[in-house]
Structure 1
Amino acid sequence: RLIDAIREPLFEPPVLLSPAAAAKAQLDGKYVFVVTIPPGLEHDMRAGQGGTVLILSDATAVAFAGNGATYLTQVLAQAAENYLAPGEPGSDRVDVVFRNRFNPNLTARWFSSVMQLMNNVTVLMLILSGASLIRERERGTIEHVLVMPVRPHEIVLSKIFATGMVVLFASVLSLVVVVEWAMGVPVAGSLALYIFGAALYVIAVGSIGLMLASFTRNMGQYGLLAIPVIIIMFLLSGGMTPLESMPEWLQWTMRLISPAPHFVAFAQSVLYRGSGLTLVAGDLVAIVVMSAVALTLVLIRFRKVLGS
């Protein structure tokens, strides 16, 4: 009865897992809530001993954890009361307790500070990488580069790495000094693993910025093209609103065309849950693939851009 009480549209149908599998699934970010129903619960409650149902919520998504836990508490308590004490208002046979994992006090700044840092990395890298190519075309300095003994891929990679190193260094410094030390947000995972993933993401976003710049002739055109892309990457990355609250087709679309959802999932797993490389390898591979696709398109268009 408790399992059947958890139903759509408020919740996905429950999946029955062992305690160890449930703990691992929540650590992997597959489930927001884990409901633990102890053995002999009905027997204890019928004997007047009461009972406790435990809800573990993944508080990396603050809104989901708060609202969902409230709904689950009401649903489970009401289901137990309707079965064991029908028509008796105020009965306290069952006590539903929930615990927040990874953000015990549902502190909003723990979530918003890291997400804003990711947004800043996205907007800075996208604009600066594209602007580095557009400005050279506008000022005519790109011809100076062409007479040098360098290949097109070396020019492209140099623009990504030059800007990316500055953005990456600033983001890591902000994470350690501002987010962790000044704001008191704990970093549970490996800082080295986060730097590695952030470096891959910086390359991916820089590649997208150069790809967008290859379709424009000046900064005005680039701004008109980049701003909608930035807004979409912000709003549909899972950093501002949970990706799970969006239509399923939109979730798949964003995971296919944007590295932002993968970086958000990666950063939350590493910084909040303390995940290792094996748990975030899928997101890192997706970021690398998107970088390769964007870089390939940039190199294909590079000669055409320089000749126009």
Structure 2
Amino acid sequence: MQRLACIFWLGLKEMVSLRRDWVMMALLVWSFTLAPLMEATGVASSVNNASIAFADEDNSPLSRALSAAFFPPEFQPMVQIEPGSGPEHLDAGRFLFIVAIPPGFEKDVRARRNPEIQVLIDATAMEQAGIGASYITNILSTEIRRFAIGADLVDPAPVDLVVRSAFNPNRDTVRFAGIVALIGQIMWLTTILTGAAMIREREHGTIEHLLAMPLAPFDIAVAKIWANAAVVLVAAALSLTFVMQGSLGITIAGSKALFLIGTALFLFTATALGVFLATLARSMAQFALLVMLVVLPMLMLSGGETPVESQPDWLQVGTLVLPSRHYMAASQAIVFKGAGVETVWPEFMWMAALGTMLLTTSIMLFRRSVAQEN
């Protein structure tokens, strides 16, 4: 009982030290407010508010229908420009897309001559340009086919395909990106806070003061783990409530409490990883490099950026030892699909097992490093 009390008070001491570290406090606030907000809304993987212009030399009912087929929020209100002025507008950066319809376009369509439409794209906006080209092609093709069917130029398709997107019917990228951004910040910050606390004790020489007390290396490591995990868990809960649900309007399909339980398990694993990396590093600079080499690949392979199923078979097997993969899978199942404990318990067990292994290894290395210093 006395040992638990020592771990508890040592953890409170860690929280007080964190409160006095204004740089870490600023990083904590930034990571759970503006950072996920900017990542969710600022990096779009779909066309949004793209500027578009039409150079209509045909001025027919079909060409006017084509120009009226582009709507917000994907595109800005369409602007008519003078034929032949497209390159000038692109050079000036006024429009991202310019559609040029040649004279006699509708007449050629009715005569089945397969006329061409020119689309000019400012490809300096690479992602928007590539996705927008597909958007424009689909919209123009759909409108031309609708016109051709109405004019009895082609027969209607024998099969009408109806596509329904499960769990995200509007295909809202903000909803998905917001949760992925929050998970990424949890991973980064937890590892950094715990590891930096260990390095700070060593660089300031206070680790010897702690070891002079009736404390074992296990007590010191566990105190830092629970203190930093508690701080990040509270920050994550506030971010989920006020940033994700409040500012971004993200709805949680499943249990918020279950999501936080999974987050707590993941924090246990991430803080143990922070202790492990801090034990390997001899300075803050080395620790920062280790974080980049370890945490960044963990985030990239977690399934948030690209599905795990899209990775090579051998890499999919390797990601089973990454706690970020199991946390990402459990979080997405809870938040987007409304999954319960009966679905996510294997991921929870994986995180608990990996966290226990990391903690055991970290304490063994920490004891060895303390013995070498003494």
User: TM-score scaled by structure 2?
Assistant: 0.57
Which residue number corresponds to residue 168 of structure 1?
Answer: 233
Find the partner of 2:204 among 133, 139, 147: 139
Give the secondary-structure state (helix, strand or coil) at the position aligned to 2:302.
Answer: coil
- How far residue 117 of structure 1 moved from its aligned partner, in angstroms, is 0.2
RMSD over aligned CA atoms reads 1.7
Find the partner of 1:101 among 145, 152, 166: 166
Q: Which has the larger radius of gyration?
A: 2
Q: Is structure 2 residue 325 aligned with structure 1 residue 265? A: no
How far apart, in 1, do the equivalents of 2:261 and 2:198 lie?
26
Which residue number corresponds to residue 240 of structure 1?
Answer: 305
Q: Is structure 2 residue 225 aligned with structure 1 residue 184? A: no
Give the secondary-structure state (helix, strand or coil) at the position aligned to 1:260.
Answer: helix
Which residue number corresponds to residue 199 of structure 1?
Answer: 264
Between 1:195-204 and 1:235-244, the stretch displaced more is 235-244
How far apart, in 1, do the equivalents of 2:173 and 2:233 lie?
25
- How far residue 181 of structure 1 moved from its aligned partner, in angstroms, is 1.7
User: TM-score scaled by structure 1?
Assistant: 0.69
- How far residue 216 of structure 1 moved from its aligned partner, in angstroms, is 1.3
- How far residue 300 of structure 1 moved from its aligned partner, in angstroms, is 1.0
How far apart, in 2, do the equivalents of 1:163 and 1:230 lie?
17
- How far residue 178 of structure 1 moved from its aligned partner, in angstroms, is 0.7
How far apart, in 2, do the equivalents of 1:304 and 1:220 lie?
21
Aligned residues: 222
Q: Is structure 2 residue 188 aligned with structure 1 residue 123? A: yes
Q: Is structure 2 residue 340 aligned with structure 1 residue 276? A: yes
How far apart, in 2, do the equivalents of 1:167 and 1:303 lie?
26
How far apart, in 2, do the equivalents of 1:90 and 1:112 lie?
41
Which residue number corresponds to residue 292 of structure 1?
Answer: 356
How far apart, in 1, do the equivalents of 2:253 and 2:294 lie?
31
Give the secondary-structure state (helix, strand or coil) at the position aligned to 1:100.
Answer: coil
Amino acid at match of 2:214: P
The 5-angstrom pairing of residues 202-221 of structure 1 reads 202-221=267-286
Amino acid at match of 2:358: A
Between 1:200-209 and 1:90-99, the stretch displaced more is 90-99
Structure 2 alignment gaps of length 5 or more:
1-130, 136-153
Structure 1 alignment gaps of length 5 or more:
1-65, 71-88
- How far residue 273 of structure 1 moved from its aligned partner, in angstroms, is 0.7
Deviations 1:146-205 (A, max 9, x none): 122222222111101111111111111111111112111110111111111100100101
Give the secondary-structure state (helix, strand or coil) at the position aligned to 1:93.
Answer: coil
**Which 4+ runs in 1 deviate beyond 4 A?**
none
Q: What's the % identity of the aligned pairs?
A: 38
How far apart, in 1, do the equivalents of 2:204 and 2:217 lie?
19
